[in-house]
Structures are given as C-alpha cells and as structure tokens.
Structure 1
C-alpha cells in the first residue's frame, strides 16, 4: 500500500499524510485518480492512537481486505470503481498501552527514561524536555520536582482543542495547580485493577500519579491534533477533490478512536455550501470513537444554552451517521471519563460525571432521536436513512479484551464492521 495504483482486497488504495497542524505532506495519487474520474465511491479511514505507520498500515490492510470481500459478495459490480484511502497523522500510543505487545499486566513498568524515549517521535522539538521528564519520573523527588515535572508535562499540549467545552476535561490537568492535579491522578487504581501504590508508599503514589498525568496530557494532545488535522487538513482536501467537469466521488468517512474525531471534525472543514446533496460525504462511521458523545448535540444537557463543537454539521453528511459502542472498551468506558473528571463542573454525582465526560465508543451519539440497532452480521438489512444518527450496539462483536488498559478498544477488524460501512454507503441492500 502507498504506491499509486496498488490494490488491497481488490480495491484501489491510496494514502494521505498530514502534519500535526493539518498540512498535507503526501498523496500517493488519490487527487489525480479522482481528477480523471476513475472512482464513484471512496472509503477514507483514519487510525487513532498507534505506534507508527507500520501499525496503521496493518490496520488498513485488514480493514480494506474486509471491505473488499464484503463488496465482492454484495456489490461486485462496484469494486472496480471503489477506492480506499488510509490517513496518516502524527499520533501516539502510550508505550505501556499497546495491546499488540503481549505484555502481561504483571510485567515491570517502563522506566521514566524509556517512556521519554518512546514519546519523542510524537513531540518533535521536545526532546530535551522529555529527557528531563524521564529523569524526574525515575528520580522520584519531592514537591519541587513534582512541580517541575508538571510544568514540563504541560508543554506537550500545544494544539487547540477546538471543542465547545464538552470534550476538554483533560484541560484541567493543565490549568489546575500541581498539588490538585497530582493528588487526583495518584488516587487511580492501576489498569489491571490493583490498588494505587500510594496506599503503601505516599511518595511512590504521587509519582504514580505523575505517570498518569503524562499519559493524560500526551493523549490530550493527540486528541486535539485529531480535530486539527480533520478541520484544517482532511476537510479542505475533500472539498477540492473533483474531476474537471465537477464530478465528485461519493466519500465515506470511517475513523477509529481519535481517528473518529479526525473524520468527524473534517465535516467542519468542508467548504461552505457543501451541505445536503451537494456534500461529497455520503456516510460517516465512528468506530469506538474517543471523543465526546455530545459533540453533535444542538443543546448540551448540562448547559442547554450551548451545543457541541459539531452541532449543525450533520447536514454535511448526505447519508447516515453511525457510531459503534461496547461495554468491553475499557479505554473509552473507564479511562476516558476518569481522565476528565478532575474538571468537576456541570455534574454532581459519579454517575453524572461518567455521563458528562462520556465518549462515543462507550454509548454512541447522545443526540435526540438517535436509533439504537445491533451491529449486525454480514448482510444484515439495516435500512439506514439519510440524515439519521445510529448507535450500533457492538457488545457481541467488539468484545475481545486485548490489554488491561484498552480492553476491546482495538478489536475492530470484523466483517460486521465492514458490512456496516458498506450498508451505510448504500452500496448494497443494507441501506
């Protein structure tokens, strides 16, 4: 994959690569192919947090094989004029959270120096800062060192969050004093359910909290980047891709984790006037999305005078809007709201806080009138309608726990997921 004209699953495949600021740096031939009118349908898929281009390509290869196989079964006449596109953007999987390493929960944790080295590729220009962060984590000093650590960790967050207040709970780890931040995160249990070290050793517990601050702020920066790349990069790119006669292919957006945020925010980056039938976006599928389930709400339940960051943008999808959810996804069902709860506003009880900071992958869109349907078997007759929101219950499909931290967050490569994308695209009888 990655070369002009290469095929995966019988489909023409391309790559688009963006910088953290949203600038396009690589197109392996998609614009040229669209300009010559080669395709009627294009599936555009974005990875979420990951460890590099190789892992993203493996994900795309598997998913595009599933899409190609599904189309071959249900719409073989469509395959020749359908393309698949993998988005590459500078994301990060925190080293200890990788479900592919086979690392047992009981294994020794990475040292601070090892964490710093692993984070450097995702934070160019921060090499010296990260090296010092690693030294501080390993040194486990007193209050002055904790304050220095917090100040340095905050420097990793440089991208604006672009939301409307519904999706920025992690920002509290930047804004609040060191004592409040470290104390909050030091009270967390380990991902495998073990008690926090602070119950036995207060100093160890505080530096456990510091590690969680580093994880939270690094992921917060990745989430912000996803929105930026979608709005500033992918959305404008899709606005301009057309044949000389004005013909546009039908574009189907798919994204996993933070990549779901990326493709959703691309809607807000489309050119003015690309709404309804004029929009090139004909379906949206958010796969275990790691961003607020309120993002498309016209009114926020905790503040009816405001809407989510993507309120009003659903009309830029001339087709159905889908989001998968499952209770087996620990990353979005447990860690995601917990990372945001330090900003204790708009809610009083724990249940309120879980809902207030809930993610798409935990329970799907929270827009009024959203339909809940099962993530069905290949060929399931969904009957999707244009302009409607759908919550796809994936509890019986996305259920393989791959790590204590992520749970089933990345267990997404299933024929059922590919069929939902094909059905939403209207390429077979499922819509």
Structure 2
C-alpha cells in the first residue's frame, strides 16, 4: 500500500480457496493492531484480485478516498485488506488498468485475451483443462450448434461440486425453502438458448446507452400515501413487506414473470440469432458462471475464514472494526457475520458493516421471502452481531447487479411464477436490503445529515455517484468518489457516542450505592 497515506497500514490478510489462513500471519496482524493503539480499523474486502498489481491498485484506491475523508485525523485510523482468490474480468474497467488497456480487452470480446486467461488459470488452478477448452471455443467461435453443447458441458464441469462437498451449502443467499436452492438455471438450460438470452441483454444495454436513465421509476402504493413511492414490481404494498424498489432494470428481460425456463422471447429468438451474436452472449455466460463459482467461494472465506479471525481480533485488541465489502467482497463480508460467533459463543461484534454494491441477494437479511411460503435470508437474525450502522449502497445504474445478476442467480426448481425475475433474484447493490422493517431509502446527501447508528438498516441510493454506463457492468466499479469516503467516515463515527454512553453506564454500575460521582 502506498506510503503517502497517513493510515496505519496493517497490510493484507491472505486466505486460500477454502478459507485457509496462515496462523502466524493472523497472529502478527492481531498483535500489530493491538500494539498500534488504533481505535478505528477498516477491514476491506473486494473482488479485484486478478494478480498482485490489481489487488494493490484496488487497495490503494480505496485507501486514498478514506485518507482524504479523514484528513489529519487519519493517524487514528487503520486499514487491513483481505486478499482471497478472486478476480474481475479485465474488460470491466478494474483498478490499475488504463482506459487503453480496458479498451483492448473490450475489443477482444467475445474472445479471451492472454492476460485474462492467465488470471483465470491462476484463480481456478484445478480447472486448467476446462478453462483451455472454454477459452478455445470463445476464441475460435465455431459456426455449428454442437460447439454450444461442448461449451455448456465444460461450464457445468467448471462449476460442479460433489453433493457431499461443504461448498454446496454456499451457493444460495436464502435458506429454509421447501425446495432447496443450489444449482443456477443458466447451467442447465439449453446453452445456446442462454447465450441468446445474454446476447439480447447486451443489445438492450447498448440501446439504453443513448438514453438519459433519469430518476428511478416509481408509482403510488394505493395505500393513500402519495409520498410512499415504490416500483411496479410487486402485488402487495411493499413499504413494510419488501421495502422500496429504486428502478426498473435497464432490460425488460429481467422484468418477465417466472424464470428463463418459462420460454418467451428467449426461445423465439434462439434460431434467429447469428452465430457471431450468440458467441457474444456466450462470453457473458462464461463471465457469469465464473462469478457464480467466486460467489460460492466468497461465502466460504467469509464464514470459515474472516468471521472467526475478526472475532479473535475484537477479543484481543478492543479496536472498533468497520467491515467494508465491495461487489464479490460484499458477499464475503456478509457471510463473515455467520462466523463471528464460532461455537455459538458471543466472541465479538463489528462496530459497523458497509456493503458497497454487494453481489448478494437483496433478501439476504429477510426473515421471510415475499414470494415463498417458507424460507428466509442466509443472514437473517445476524444484525445483532453489528453494534453500529449496517449500511448498503445501491445504484440503479449498476447493470451488472441489476440485469446480469438476476439472470445468473436464478436457481433450478424455482416456483416463484408470480414474481418477476428481478423481484425474486435481485441484488443488494441494485436496490438495497429488502424484506426487512426499516426507514425509506436515503440519498448520499441525505445520509450526511442522519445518525446512521440509530437505524437498523440504511439503504443509501448512490445512483447519482455510481452511474458509469460501461457495458456490461455499468456503475458496479464506479464507487471511488470523495462522497463515499465521507460516508465511510460517517459510518465509523456514528457509533462513537453510543460506545461512550455504554462505557459511562458501565462505570456507574460499578459505583457503590450512595457514592457521589464527581
């Protein structure tokens, strides 16, 4: 990390694919934090770990906005980053890449560049043969349907895990449904059909480039309150049941009722697509299958790795820990809540959790699923493990989470035929935490005037900031703005008064009755 920042730099904590952590490294970090005297410690998890250079660039970029926000007070603040075997595709405009390099990657689509191929083999080392087969197909793009059958078979083998493998438990963000959700539909639907679907979505996003996306689409609930705006996506008044929806996605394909298996435009278009267009969709299908593998890995690293480490760190240091997760790192940070109390013991809590464009279901914290007769979010009930604010930023211009995520996250056996795809399979980073009681969404400007610690959940509409229209990810990586740094500082400071009040109350309880307190 750059030495120009005044933060206490605790470096990076390295996890393996199964949450492996070097005990000696963990001990050094705990001792360094304890001995530093730092009161406020940010722990940052993101998904841009293609190689060391990309990881370093992303860490430095986040550190820079925090350093700017804290100014001279940054000497009181520390930063610890989480390194884990993840990646982002290089055409997404990731940190450390200039515009020219990103453009070269875009021009290589639907093929896979040599650099991207190296990244994939580095992060998925057990699948080198499969990756070579998939990359070969995308680079050669044969003009016959059998090639898509070969692609689908390779993608399924890339993502598959044995039923007894603990990894299978981390494939979904909801639990307790009558029919367990584990296998993405995109892997089992006809492969050419899915490629056509993703190609059509890319066309939708190209068409939307020339349009002013404007303000979120809302309408009245029918409850008589004209100031209670929600989207058109539900059948019940949504204020309490599932919260506000910020906008319709920029593709009508994810606003259809049911799942992709229901046919509709996708099936009708299948035979009319030119092979070049189908392979363009195949590239996107490949991206989403890789993201599925990494989302599953993020859950494992969060629950079995980072969570227990943070529990030990709070015990040993007394430092206020502010966990921040972006994108895939948002899922890792969310699942870390499940590992904070190993063995059921209350071994530590976070001072705050901030989810930046988190790649996770918007029902992850819900105690029930609006379109299901049973089930709840995978993080239901875990709000108690956070002492201070739980903040979720979202942007209706994050097309990766608003459009691609619902298509890739829908599961086999889904029975929510009365719900749209984006409603059932929406992401936190597109429309915030859903299915919980809480205040209305607020903007970044409004958040600066609120006590974020007094609300159970805070959804911050960041569409005015995170609004890049880069295809296909939109504003997903467009998060490094000074306003975000100020929000992260506000989150950290929101719980300070509460901590002081609690300490004062504890001191008062230790005083003998009748004793005067000066």
Verify: 1:353 aligned to 2:421, yes or no.
yes
Deviation at 1:53, TM superposition (A): 2.8
1:224 to 296, 305, 327: 296
Determine if contact 1:97/1:406 at 8 Å carries over to the other structure.
yes
Q: Counterpart in 1 of 2:235?
A: none
Deviation at 1:68, TM superposition (A): 2.7
2:149 to 142, 147, 150: 147
Q: Counterpart in 2 of 1:96?
A: 91
Q: How does 1:238-277 map to 2 (within 5 A)?
A: 238-241=310-313, 246-272=316-342, 275=346
Q: Counterpart in 1 of 2:211?
A: none
Q: Counterpart in 2 of 1:292?
A: 361
Q: Report the Cα distance in structure 2 between the residues aligned to 1:62 and 1:407, rounded to whole angstroms.
A: 19
Q: Counterpart in 2 of 1:59?
A: 58
More deviation in 251-260 or 332-341?
Answer: 332-341
Q: Report the Cα distance in structure 1 between the residues aligned to 2:112 and 2:65, rounded to whole angstroms.
A: 39
Structure 1 vs Structure 2 CA RMSD: 3.3
Verify: 1:425 aligned to 2:492, yes or no.
yes
Determine if contact 2:369/2:435 at 8 Å carries over to the other structure.
no
Q: Counterpart in 2 of 1:365?
A: 433
Q: Counterpart in 1 of 2:402?
A: 333
Q: Counterpart in 1 of 2:125?
A: 124
Determine if contact 2:110/2:283 at 8 Å carries over to the other structure.
no
Q: Report the Cα distance in structure 1 between the residues aligned to 2:135 and 2:44, rounded to whole angstroms.
A: 34
Aligned pair in 2 of structure 1 residues 101, 430: CA closer, same or farther (>3 Å)?
farther
TM-score (norm 1): 0.84
Aligned pair in 2 of structure 1 residues 355, 170: CA closer, same or farther (>3 Å)?
farther
Q: Counterpart in 2 of 1:301?
A: 370
Verify: 1:189 aligned to 2:202, yes or no.
yes
Q: How does 1:155-234 map to 2 (within 5 A)?
A: 155-157=157-159, 158=161, 159-160=167-168, 162=170, 164=172, 166=174, 171-176=184-189, 178=191, 181-182=194-195, 184-185=197-198, 187-190=200-203, 192-193=205-206, 202-234=274-306
TM-score (norm 2): 0.71
Determine if contact 1:166/1:357 at 8 Å carries over to the other structure.
no
Q: Report the Cα distance in structure 2 between the residues aligned to 1:212 and 1:161, rounded to whole angstroms.
A: 25
More deviation in 223-232 or 123-132?
Answer: 123-132
Aligned length: 417
Aligned pair in 2 of structure 1 residues 152, 240: CA closer, same or farther (>3 Å)?
same
Q: Please identify which structure carries the higher helix content.
A: 2
Verify: 1:24 aligned to 2:21, yes or no.
yes
Determine if contact 1:14/1:27 at 8 Å carries over to the other structure.
no
Structure 2: gaps (5+ residues): 162-166, 176-180, 209-265, 499-518
Kindly provide the CA deviation profile for residues 80-133 of structure 1, in whole angstroms up to 9, marking residues without a partner as x.
443111111111212333354534598352535746445222210222221122
Q: SS state of the match for residue 8, structure 1?
A: coil
Higher-Rg structure is 2
Structure 1: gaps (5+ residues): none
Determine if contact 2:294/2:328 at 8 Å carries over to the other structure.
yes
Q: SS state of the match for residue 489, structure 2?
A: helix
